[in-house]
Chain A
Amino acid sequence: MVTAAPVSPELRDGRERLVRFDGVERVAHWLTALSFLTLIFTGAALYIPALVGLIGRRVLITRIHVDVGLALPLPLLVSLAGSWGRGLRADLRRLNRWTHFDRQWLRSVRRHEPTLSVPTGKFNAGQKLNAAFVLGTMLVMLMTGSVMHWFNLFSNSWRTGATFVHDLFAYFLVAVVIGHIFMALTHPEALRSIFTGKVSRKWAQRHASLWVEELEVPPPTPGGRVAKARARAAGPGGPAGPG
């Protein structure tokens, strides 16, 4: 779809590329995205009367929905499990931790002020919220979907409650996914990086200045991690795959 080494004017002056997402992260992202889209479309085909009338085949669609749903966390779990997951684990830590800059960033959004003047790490507060929401939704949908699928184990009242929560969070999820796709389409270089893994130094300095600082002067850690991180920051391109 999008190939590496674009020659957009933005990049012409700063050819140096920083690795934003390694190969494992990109594969995990796209497998998860594909699963979510499948779940949204099969879910709609089970829920919206007009689509039910068009597609029908309740048993088959339910089976796809349940199987894909149960498999949904696998790409993330497998990516996190081994040595290949270093990049993803580091990014999860970054997404989890909030500083006063993140609160400042959200305040700026609320007041319709420019957010680019707020120092930002690898991820801004909006991206952090998106990640937390998507992970939380994944767990809630797994929990309520399990009650709906293995209904034999639960009271009618819990079955009703699970159905209610599942339907409600599906609406939230669709809204957030649409927002996510909108942000991606309006930020082409960020979008490119989920295909190629890389961003220009110039983009990073503009959108994630604290991350660039972090790459250049890593926090004092024992052993060779400092040197490795420095090498990754300095080298053009850097290792894109699992180290």
Chain B
Amino acid sequence: MTSPPRRQSTPVGRRVVLGMLGLGAAGVVFGSTVSRAIQDALSALGSSGNSVAGLIPGGGYFQLYTVTGGYPETPKDYHLTVDGLVKKPLSLSLADLEALPSESLVRPFQCVTGWRVDAVHWTGVPLGHLLDIAGVTAGAVALRFFSFDGVYTESLTLDQARLPDVIIAYKMLGGPVSREHGGPVRLYVPEMYGYKSIKWLQRISVVNSVIPGYWEHEGYDVNAWIGRSNGYSGPGIS
């Protein structure tokens, strides 16, 4: 072929690459707004919460984390124990917990790395109520939480633990807390990043100092207030 225009070429490849970079940068800045719109559309379709919706980018569903080799199996004859600096150590079955006064909340779940889930339904026993039953003794300063995955731990100060919206949750997303989400019983701390809301909760120990938990050994802040910890603090929370 002998047409002269063959010599005329344009750098389309470079334009595609730069265009994608621009789109990506715009997505970082405006992505949370786009993500909200996707979630509204999904909930209008009535599909939020099912497993397919969970795989849609920006769909606003949970990312499931586990730091051991999978989702741990619930021990036979599961009991939640409360021990340490208490007058009366507790050992509560799921039925015992469900019989106690409960608190229901509709609050978001915010991961420190960025993903978040709006308007999650939670039900559980206020942690402060459990502490009242057990009777905290002199010298108690903080709580240490243990997961039955055998590895994960977390901590709260006594003051943080007594916030009225901190609950020992046994219901979430409209049903019992599932195995993936840390069932049968997990902690939920609405005002803190997700890593505080320990899954597969088995034991709470009242102790005389704050002992940093699993992710805190990886560099996360011990006081995990959303928007007021772990670096940049500013708008973007609600």
A residues in contact (CB < 8 Å) with B: 46-49, 52-59, 95-102, 119, 128-129, 131-133, 135-137, 139-140, 143-144, 147-148, 151-165, 167-171, 210
Contacts and interface: CB of A to CB of B under 8 A. Distances in A.
Given A96-B14, A100-B5, A54 B24 contact: no
Interface residues of B, number: 58
A136 B20 CA distance: 6
A47 B115 CA distance: 12
A98 to B, nearest CB: 4
Given A49-B180, A151-B231, A144 B28 contact: yes
A132 B13 contact: yes
A54 B65 CA distance: 12
B33 to A, nearest CB: 8
Contact of A59 (B63, B67, B70): B67
Contacts, number: 182
Given A98-B13, A136-B20, A53 B66 contact: yes
A54 B24 CA distance: 31
Contacts of A101: 6
Interface of B: 1, 5-14, 16-17, 19-21, 23-25, 27-32, 34-35, 51, 54-55, 57-58, 63-71, 110, 112-116, 180, 218, 226-227, 230-232, 234-237
Contact of A57 (B5, B6, B10, B69): B69
B113 A159 contact: yes
Main secondary structure of the interface of A (DSSP, over half): helix
Contact of B21 (A58, A96, A136, A157): A136
A151 B112 contact: yes
A97 to B, nearest CB: 4
B16 A129 contact: yes
A171 B30 CA distance: 19
Contacts of A135: 13, 17
Contact of A152 (B6, B69, B227, B231): B231
B10 A98 contact: yes
A119 B3 CA distance: 11
Contacts of A171: 57
Contact of B235 (A52, A56, A139, A157): A157
A97 B110 contact: no
B121 to A, nearest CB: 19
Nearest to B56: A167
B9 A97 contact: yes
Contacts of B71: 52-53, 56
A102 B34 CA distance: 34
A242 B11 CA distance: 26
A42 B94 CA distance: 36
A52 B62 CA distance: 12
Contacts of A57: 67-69
Contact of B236 (A97, A155, A165): A155
Nearest to A49: B64
A54 B113 CA distance: 22
Most buried by B among A155, A164, A210: A164
A93 B27 CA distance: 29
